[in-house]
Amino acid sequence: MTTEAFSVRTERKKVRKLDKLAAQQDRSRNYLVNQAIDQYLELLAWQDERIKEGIKAADAGRFASDAEMDAIFNKYKDA
């Protein structure tokens, strides 16, 4: 795997928190940042796939009925 350096500017408070976590986990700041980037990219890919599936379902005319939507809303009404 080829790596490439880049810099990021952020608040000092965030860097201190990151360094504290890195020390607690006996990992480098770089390792934690790469883990965070990987997780973020995976989340975005997952969301993108769900959106595409939803659009495909909508294009095919598959929608929840009013009764199904009412059941969902009522489920969380008093939560």
- Tens-place pLDDT, residues 14-25: 999 999 999 999
6 within domain boundaries: no
Using left for φ > 0, alpha for ψ between -120 and 50, and beta otherwise, residue 32 falls in: alpha
Please report whether residue 58 resides in a domain.
yes
Residue 34 located in a structural domain: yes
Does some domain include residue 5? Answer: no
Between CA 45 and CA 22 the distance in angstroms is 26
Domain count, the chain: 1
pLDDT < 50 stretches in the chain: none
- Asked if residue 47 belongs to a domain, the reply is yes
For 71, the domain range is: 12-75
In a domain, 31, yes or no: yes
Assessment of whether the complete model's pTM goes beyond 0.85: no
- What HEC string does 56-72 produce? HHHHCCCCCCHHHHHHH
